Structure formats: structure tokens, C-alpha cells
Amino acid sequence: MDKKKATVLCIDDEEMIRVTIGDFLEDSGYCVLQAENGKTGLKLFREAKPDIILVDLMMPEVDGFEVLTQVKTESPQTPVIVISGTGVIQDVIEAIRRGAWDYLTKPVMNLAVLEHTVNKTLEKAVLIRENEDYKKYLEEKVRDRTLELEKINTQLRSTLQETVNALSAMTDKRDPYTSGHQKRVSSLAAAIAEEMGLCGDTVESIRISGLLHDIGKIYVPAEFLAKPTRLEREEMDVIRKHSFVGYDILININFPWPVAEIVYQHHERIDGSGYPRGLKGGEILLESKIIAIADVVEAMSSHRPYRASLDIEEALREIRKNKGRTYCPECAEAFFEFFRKQSGTIKNLFR
């Protein structure tokens, strides 16, 4: 700090000390304000906002301790040096506790020592202020950058959602008889996951995977999908390839979740009777086990080219009968619980 611009407020009830210190520091280039007691000192402190305060401890009415407390409360960055002749160690400790930056004893025999202390204290105050300013600057930078990243993240999520919707709609175009199937499976599977208390990120992965789980059907000839009669074994074999084809399409998309693998496993059954790999129990992802239930419920309660839509009761019977055999029991329980909460009707099952 340029000492010519630095203002020192000297508060002391002994005029001789005040004037001696004032004259010396003014000769050294400081601007010095003087106050003969604590009350006037605090008034000057509030009006002139000095860069540093020198204060005596023992003064009538408002003493140095009170001045320290007030300055610390109103302007903690203003340094205060206590100059006192009490010579009692408890006073020093109390002054430091109340926020004094330094302590000198009276009489000040060497005024050059006082000037040195004032200089060093002011330098320290400037460093602290610069440090705080820099900290504030960094905090603002971090806040701005975080907001920017949040914005980019929101844009990316929205792009991902639009892309998934477009891919999902592509399957619907190919197979209009089951149009909306993936959307309904996605919503029911996400509801089951929520019912199981899974975290938001897992629910989201199930919702996205549900929207894409039958994307591999673009490989299946349209006439197989629209066939009004039961499929032949060879035709069924082709249809069953849709799990792997879906995996193959999705594996190179860098989703934040294992969407390709979830899709690959959505026709697996916990007893190993599913396809295409005959995986069992713990080998199957929880996400796929949940989608498997939603898939069966949606398929059984919707119209198909080869049959009219079945009653929801039929789907419930299927899940109840095979709970723990082909379907994960916890996932099935969560489905029944969710179904109960929808007042046992199919109306709100696929939100």
C-alpha cells in the first residue's frame, strides 16, 4: 500500500502520546487522524474508514476492548494494533481474542519499530484482501462454469432423448400393429423400477432401454410381424434374432448406461428358458428382468395381428404363475404393488 494514501486512526486519551505518534507517522507519509477517547475514535472510524487503527486499552467510558469489538464486528478487514501500558498478559490475550492484529507496549521507545509494525500490518491486510478478492473471483468462475456445464448437459440430455424417440418411432413405423408398444413398456418398466426404490439414474436407464428394446425388429421381414396366423418355427427363429440385432445396433452408441446389453437380455428368463443365450438368475441384468415383465404385460394386454387383445387378468395370471420361475420375484412383486396402486385397472398402467 502507498503509505502516502494510508490513513491511520490513533485513539489514545494521553495527548502527548497521540501527538508524538501522529507527528512521527505524518512525517513518514501517513495521513493521521487522532481521537482522545474510544467514543470519538469509533465515530471517526465510521466516518473516515481508516486503513489501520492504533488504540490504547485503558480509556474512560469506551475503552480499547470495546473499540476492538466494534471494529471487528463492523469491518473485520480493518487492522487494529493495540498500544497499551498495562503490561498485563491477560490484557494482551483478551485483545488478541477480540481481533487485535498486533500489540505494542507503552511507552513506545522506538517509533521506527511502531512504523515498521504499521507497515507490516498494512501489507498483511492488503495481502488478505487480495486473497479474498481472488477467492471471490475463482468462486464466480466456478459458478459460471458450472452453470455453463449444466446448460450443455441439459442440451445433451434433450438431444439423447430426441434421438432415442426417433429410433423408437422407426420401429413403430416398421411394425404398425405394435405401434406404441416400446413406449408403453418403457413407462411401465420405469414405474416398476420406481416401485422397487431404484435410484433415478437406474430408472432412467430402464426408461431409455424400454423405448429401444425391440429396435432389432427392423431386421425381421414386415410380413412376419404382420402375419395374422401363428408363426412357423423358422419365422420364429428370425424374430428371436431381434434381441441380438438390437444389441448390435446400440452397442456403438455411447450411452451412460449398458442399454445395448439390457436390450440383448430382455427375453432371457431367470430359469434359463429364455433366449438368445439362455442366461440364468444373477447372469441377467436387473434392468432386463424388469423390462421382461413390462414387455409380457403390455404384449398380453394389447391387440396382436394373430389374436385379439387379452384381458389384463391373463397377464396377471402369467406373471403370478411364473413369478420366481421365469420372472424375477422382486420385480414381479413390485409390478403387482404398482398395479394395486393404480386401483387394479389397466387404464393408468402405461402412463
Report the interface residues with Fe ion, using CB under 5 A: 214, 295
Q: Are strands 52-55 and 102-105 parallel, antiparallel or unpaired?
A: unpaired
Shortest gap between Cβ of 246 and Fe ion (angstroms)?
8
Q: Which is nearer to Fe ion, 64 or 210 (CB)?
A: 210
| 46 φ, ψ (degrees, to nearest 5) | -70, -35
Using a 10 angstrom Cβ sphere, with 0-12 exposed, 13-18 middle and 19 or more buried, the burial of residue 271 is middle
Q: Which is nearer to Fe ion, 37 or 171 (CB)?
A: 171
DSSP state of 308: P
| 131 φ, ψ (degrees, to nearest 5) | -60, -45
Shortest gap between Cβ of 298 and Fe ion (angstroms)?
7
Shortest gap between Cβ of 239 and Fe ion (angstroms)?
8
Decide: 212 and 336 in contact? Cβ < 8 Å. Answer: no
Shortest gap between Cβ of 295 and Fe ion (angstroms)?
4
As a 3-state breakdown, the chain gives helix, strand, coil percent values, each rounded to 5, of 60, 10, 30
Shortest gap between Cβ of 185 and Fe ion (angstroms)?
6
The grid coordinates of residue 7 equal 490513513
The grid coordinates of residue 108 equal 513506545
Q: Which is nearer to Fe ion, 56 or 214 (CB)?
A: 214
Shortest gap between Cβ of 214 and Fe ion (angstroms)?
4
Q: Which is nearer to Fe ion, 98 or 184 (CB)?
A: 184
Q: Which is nearer to Fe ion, 13 or 175 (CB)?
A: 175
CA 68, CA 80: separation in Å to the nearest integer? 7
Shortest gap between Cβ of 140 and Fe ion (angstroms)?
50
Q: Which is nearer to Fe ion, 70 or 187 (CB)?
A: 187
Decide: 289 and 331 in contact? Cβ < 8 Å. Answer: yes
Residues paired with 307 in a beta bridge = 304
Q: Which is nearer to Fe ion, 51 or 214 (CB)?
A: 214
Q: Which is nearer to Fe ion, 37 or 288 (CB)?
A: 288
Shortest gap between Cβ of 186 and Fe ion (angstroms)?
10
Q: How far is CA 183 from CA 65, 175, 196, 201, 298, in A?
A: 73, 13, 20, 18, 10
The grid coordinates of residue 4 equal 502516502
Q: How far is CA 56 from CA 53, 66, 67, 158, 165, in A?
A: 10, 11, 9, 66, 76
Nearest to 84 by CA among 74, 93, 75: 93
Secondary structure class of 74 (helix, strand, coil) = helix
